[in-house]
Structure 1
């Protein structure tokens, strides 16, 4: 995703607030193995030419910060909140630690926030909900704790929410994520979530990826989730879900490419209608299914002895 074009013309009147905020960000980085931030200094005063920084053409303010895979070690400076024109932040695959700064709530233009693949700790800031333009939040593979904030349900423009592979606890609140009517990708996998899957998640009719396992969730899967025709990945694997899989699932979810329901307590028969999803990969082991695997599913290489 590219919102901006790099500026090449020097601007002696570049915004001093942005320049100082970037220098404070650099001060919080303890190790820059590959020297990506070497250009962040007073010898190259115009910050729009600094590595990983992109400015909007109109205002010459920092609009994007992209330092993905730069092997940066340190913390996220709270001064990032002073970059008030930021729309795009990608700090994925570094070694950032500490907490996500509360000051992100100043970034009311922010659309894309990817902090995946770091060592961030603490809770997800509740005031992230003030960033009402957010369409992508990815905090996958960190060390975040606490509950999923109810306030995230107010981010009605959200398309992707990936909180997988953290240490989140609590449940999936029905008054929160069920409001994200535009969301297409929802991943809460590899956490310590408990409780039921709220019926309201079945209202998320644009979902293509729904991944909620492994966790410690229980109860039944709302039947409305089996009716979402846009779904291509459905993974409640390794929880404590019970109930049966609707026989019509393969008719309503023809775009399914992966269904991972293994490691639960599902019962009944494996639906023959799975064969209607022509590109399907399926994992159903470690459940309580009965009967024979339908002959039509042999092409998916399901072991008869493992179901």
Structure 2
């Protein structure tokens, strides 16, 4: 009994030392991880060739916490970089491969800048990404196929760039992707919509105007994509399957001036009119540049 009493303080001391060691280990690991995020963001500064307001030059400093930098948001549980938003900053440069080291990044907003070049393959490591927008830059090259392997990616906006080539079929990988909204408008693409797009039951919106695409649209788009709320296809070279009838939403103030022979009815919230038109009318209005939204297919 006496021996046990004497060993109790010893055991307590050991437990206290173990607790202190584990705590210091966790703190050190957290500090190391956030340092990795800081390094991953400091490296891209060398890829920015023009920063008109000197935002990054003045604010992104190794002496300040990365979580306090402009455009950077950290998540509370892990204290890691969760979101990066450098939109509308007038930045010029290339997208650095080091972004692939931001392993906790969930949102990436870089729209309305002047980034050029291709998108780096290292982004395939960003397995937590849910939201990506590179809209309205000067990105070139083909659309990376690795976007289809990002398991949590729900929103991808690459519109308003100089991307070329075909839409990769692997972008619509139903087994590994949860893509809901895809925007590729205003790019120099070619070819047709890949058939794999109709395997993505999670898709809610497809925005492909002015992409130089050509294809015959199937008459059962909405039955194959049950969650689809809208598909924008104007200023392309699409045709429609024989005997297909589409419900079209026209974003013009007075559709009766253009469609006197067609039945006009209220449109979905956020739009103005809806009407039933033939495939000849679809070609006619697409030719004059009106934006068409296919709402449903009979």
Does the TM-score normalized on the shorter chain lie above 0.5? yes
Aligned: 1:33 with 2:55: no
Question: Which residue pairs with 2:233 in the alignment?
Answer: 212
TM-score by length of 2: 0.72
What is the distance in 1 between the residues matched to 2:141 and 2:93?
15
Is the CA contact 1:178–1:200 (under 8 Å) kept in the aligned structure 2?
no
Matched, 1:275 2:286: no
Q: Deviations over 1:36-77 (max 9, x none)?
A: 212112221x21111101111111111100111011100000
Map residues 1-307 of structure 1 onto 2, 5 A cutoff.
15-37=34-56, 38-44=58-64, 46-154=65-173, 156-174=177-195, 176-198=196-218, 201-202=221-222, 203-220=224-241, 223=244, 245=245, 249=247, 256=249, 258=251, 271-272=262-263, 274-275=264-265, 277=267, 280-281=272-273
Q: Highest CA radius of gyration, 1 or 2?
A: 2
Q: Which has the higher contact order (CA 8 A, sep 6+)?
A: 2
The CA RMSD over aligned residues, in Å, is 3.0
State the shift of 1:185 in Å. 1.5
Q: Distance in 2 between matches of 1:94 and 1:221?
A: 43
CA contact (8 A) 2:99 2:123 kept: yes
Instruction: Encode CA deviations 1:125-145: one digit per residue, 9 max, x unaligned.
Output: 111222110010000100000
Gaps of 5+ in 2: 1-29, 282-298
Structure 1 residues 194 and 280 mapped into 2: Cα distance closer, same or farther (>3 Å)? same
Evaluate the alpha carbon distance shift between residue 283 and residue 194 of structure 1 in structure 2; reply closer, same or farther with a 3 A threshold: same
User: Gapped runs of 5+ residues in structure 1?
Assistant: 1-10, 224-244, 263-268, 290-307
Please identify which structure carries the higher helix content.
2
